[in-house]
Each structure stands twice: as structure tokens, then as C-alpha cells.
Homo-oligomer: A and B are copies of this chain.
Amino acid sequence: MTARIPVGILGATGTVGQRFIQLLEDHPWFEVAWLAASDRSAGKPYAEAAKWRLNTPLPKRIASMMVFAASSPEGAPKVIFAALDSAAAKEIEPKFAAAGHAVISNSSGLRMMEDVPLVIPEVNGDHLPLLKTQKWFKESGGFAVTNPNCSAIGLVLALSPLHRRFEVQKVFVSTMQAVSGAGYPGVPALDILGNVVPYIASEEQKMEEESRKLLGSLNGKAIVPADITLSAHCNRVAVEDGHMESVSIKLNKPATADEIINAWSEFRCLPQKLKLPSAPEHPVIYDPAPDRPQPRLDINRGRGMAATVGRLRPCNLFDWRFTVLSHNTIRGAAGAAILNGELLKAQGYLN
């Protein structure tokens, strides 16, 4: 029995930070050893700094841990999970990477930087070596690895097995996203009770460009984005957790419904082969019922790490239509980063 790797959490008090704490409690490889948040929280015990909003109890050990200021890497462990807002991430994460830390980030700040891997382990775990091109890696051994936006991740999990077999060419996607995706306090109740908001700032652009990078390939020292055209409509709905997406796709190679369902069902990748602790047995689950997936019923499949696909049917305009659902704060945020951390560990990047 080996000791667990101590890890720190940047942005530990927010919605995603709390998920990190919840998911890392009892993690076989990682142990939360350091918590950091804004200056307002620094110096307080975690239970006081954070308004714990999850429906499992705040672990006692964490409750009494002191929160540090996120602004300085001093005293932080080598491995850092980050859940900062985008602006803070752009400023703070490079500091940590420059100081030799492995920054495994859920933030959007660095995702589209040329030398920063944007990774879903099942989809493009082979992009990780890109991190070796980072100046930080060369200078201090530190680096930054990111996971995509919560709305891109479910989509790309569903597209990846199809792209491998049939080459996805065009994607139309319309989302119905949960309020937890906006953090806390996030969306005011008056804006969303009995309502739909057809706008989430920057979300459509993120889905479109991140999906192309994720489905692209590592060509020597750079990512060549996939040659896919996407058009996204992003909407917020009165759901707590779970992003739903209506998708139409055009493929380069013909595929029958059975072939598509097989591609999803047989999808197993690096995380499954390496038996990473957070990897779901089936990253993509096809549900044949006529009215699934649904957030309330399906978000916890694979402990929140599986995407559920349903309603596969022909599209009048493209080839196929379907619906995909994934848990936006587990598979779409904290769980995504932890799985990236596990892959990094398994491949020796955290030594």
C-alpha cells in the first residue's frame, strides 16, 4: 500500500471546488492536502470560508483545514487541481506551472493556448505529450493540462467513437444546460424558475472550438484541429445538474443505426484499459427507451462519469439525430480534471 499523492485545490470554495473535495474523499491515489481560494477566504477554516452545497456531508478533516490565498504557490503540493474563474486562471495558473506544479485545470483560461493539452482521457489522452512543449515544463518541470467546458465534454464523448469509425463532418447541437454550470450564486432564481434563457456568455464559441481541438490530432508539437464544422445553440434551463444536448450529425462514411450504437457501446479507451479509478466502465451508454436520456434519471450513470445517449434516429438534413446527456459538475468539471490527473499519474507525469 503506497501513500497517496498530496494534492491542492485552487478555487476550493466554489461549486466545482466542492465537487473536487467530494470526489477526492476516499480517492485511492490522491489526498487533499491544501486548499486555496480568494483573499476573502484565506485564513479561515474551510467550513467557514465555504457554503457547502452538496448533499453528502462536508468531510470533517476538510472542514477544519485552513484555506490559503490562491495567489501564491508557496507551500502548495506539486499536484494542483484548479477550478478558478477564467480571468483568475489566466493569471494564477501560469504562476503555479512556472513554480514547478502540475496544474490540472478545469478553468477555461488556458484551454485554447497552443501548447496546453485540452484533454478528455477517452478521447485524446494521446495529446498529453504536448505539455512537454510548455516553457514551464522545460524550466521548472511544471505544466498545465486542461479539460473542456462542461457542455463540450458530453458532446465530444458521443462524437469521438463515431469520428474514429465514420469521420464526423458536420455537427448541429442545441443545448439545455443545468444551472450548476454557472457556479454559485450563479443564476438568480428569478431568471430561471419556469423559464428558459437562450444565452450563456461565450458558451457557443467554447463548444465549437474546444470540440475541434479535442477531436484533433497531435502532430509533432502542435494540435491539428479536426476538420469538423459545428454550430451550437446554448440554452439554460431549470435543471440542477446535467446538460442535455440535441444533436444532428453528418458523417463522411455511411453508418447504420446498429453500427453507430455499436461504436458507442464498444467505446473503451485508455482510462478503461488502465483501469483509472474514476473511469466509468462504459464512457458512453446508449439507452434504447424512446424518452431517454433525462437529467433526473440518468446523470449518475457511471458515478456521474458516463455520457448517456438516446433517441438515435435519421436526420432529414444530415445523417443522424440523437440526444446526449452528461453530468456537468462531475464528468463536465471536477471528475474530468481528476480523470486527467489519474491519466497523468498512470503515465508518469506526476512523479
Q: Are B316 and A208 in contact (CB under 8 A)?
A: yes
Q: A97: CB under 8 A from chain B? A: no
* A179 to chain B: closest residue by CB: B189
The complex places the Cα of A192 from the Cα of B57 at a distance, in Å, of 19
A198 B246 Cβ-Cβ under 8 A: yes
Task: Give CA–CA (A180, B190) in the complex, Å.
Answer: 7
Please give 6 more A-B residue pairs, beta carbons under 8 A apart, in addition to A193-B296, A198-B246.
A172-B317, A176-B176, A176-B237, A188-B188, A194-B239, A198-B244
In the complex, the answer to whether B170 meets A317 with C-beta atoms within 8 Å is: yes
Which B residues are in CB contact (< 8 Å) with A233?
174, 246, 248, 321, 323
Which B residues touch A198, using CB under 8 A?
Answer: 244, 246, 291-294, 310-311, 323
**Chain B nearest CB, measured from A86 CB (Å):** 18
Q: Which of A42-61 contact B (CB under 8 A)?
A: 53-57
Q: Which residue of B lies closest to A317 (CB)?
A: B231
- Which residues of B sit under 8 angstroms from A176, Cβ to Cβ? 176, 196, 235, 237
Tell me how far the C-beta of A2 lies from the nearest C-beta in chain B, rounded to whole angstroms: 31
CB contacts (< 8 Å) of A193 on chain B: these are 179, 189, 192-194, 238-240, 296
Question: B195 to A239, Cβ gap below 8 A?
Answer: yes
Known: A55-B297, A190-B185, A198-B246. A316 touches B229 (CB 8 A): yes
Choose from B174, B208, B229, B238 the contact partner of A194 (Cβ within 8 Å): B238
Q: Does A230 contact B (CB under 8 A)?
A: yes
A237 contacts B237, CB within 8 Å?
Answer: yes
Contacting pair A316 B196 (CB below 8 A): no
**Number of residues from A at the complex interface, CB < 8 A:** 61
- Subset of 13 A-B contacts with CB under 8 Å: A174-B174, A176-B237, A179-B190, A180-B190, A187-B189, A188-B188, A194-B296, A195-B239, A196-B239, A231-B318, A233-B246, A233-B248, A233-B321
**Chain A 292-324 residues near chain B, CB threshold 8 A:** 292-301, 310-311, 315-318, 321, 323
Interface flags, A66-78, vs B, CB<8A=1, else 0: 0000000000000
- What 10 pairs between A and B have smallest CB-CB spacing? A174-B174, A233-B246, A185-B188, A199-B291, A198-B323, A174-B246, A195-B296, A231-B317, A231-B316, A187-B189
Q: Which residues of B contact A55 (CB under 8 A)?
A: 296-300
Question: Please, which residues of chain B bring their CB within 8 A of the CB of A189?
Answer: 179, 186-189, 191-193, 238
Q: Are A238 and B240 in contact (CB under 8 A)?
A: no
Does B231 lie within 8 Å of A294, measured CB to CB?
A: no
CA distance A56 to B296 in the complex (A): 10
User: How distant is A246 from chain B, measured CB to nearest CB, in Å?
Assistant: 4
Query: Considering the chains assembled together, what is the distance between the CA atoms of A53 and B237 in angstroms?
Result: 17
- Which B residues are CB-close (under 8 A) to A244? 196, 198, 235
Docked complex Cα distance between A55 and B187 (Å): 19
